[in-house]
Amino acid sequence: MNRFPHFLRSLLLTSLLSFAVPTLTLAGGFVMASAIAHLPGLTNLGQSAVKQLLQFLSTFGSGHPLQGAIVIGLTCSVVGVLFDAYALSRYQNLRGPE
């Protein structure tokens, strides 16, 4: 029973990191595209990148870009938790009984 809190802590940490990484990556791409849009000569490129990123996120969010970013983050979080649970159970099975 002592392993159960460690298991839950590992799953919680995995879910938080698996949510944060794609969400922050999307936010970083949006910030970079917005910054490029403010540079002289690259305004059209930056605005086009922002528009395409918002359109991409709107696809996953039923028309709302923020909701799309949350859906992508939650999906990555679920996949990360499933992978972590599998890896932990596999590790315990390979280690043998204690």
pLDDT tens digit string along 13-66?
A: 999 999 999 999 999 999 999 999 999 999 999 999 999 999 999 999 999 999
Instruction: Give the residue among 79, 67, 66 at the shortest CA–CA distance from 17.
Output: 79
Would you say 46 and 35 are in contact if contact means Cβ atoms under 8 Å apart?
Answer: yes
Q: Write down the pLDDT at residue 92.
A: 72
Residue 7 has a pLDDT of: 84
pLDDT at residue 1 greater than cutoff 60 = no
Nearest to 59 by CA among 47, 50, 71: 71
* pLDDT score, position 98: 57
pLDDT of 93 > 70? The answer is: no
Predicted local confidence at residue 91, as pLDDT: 77
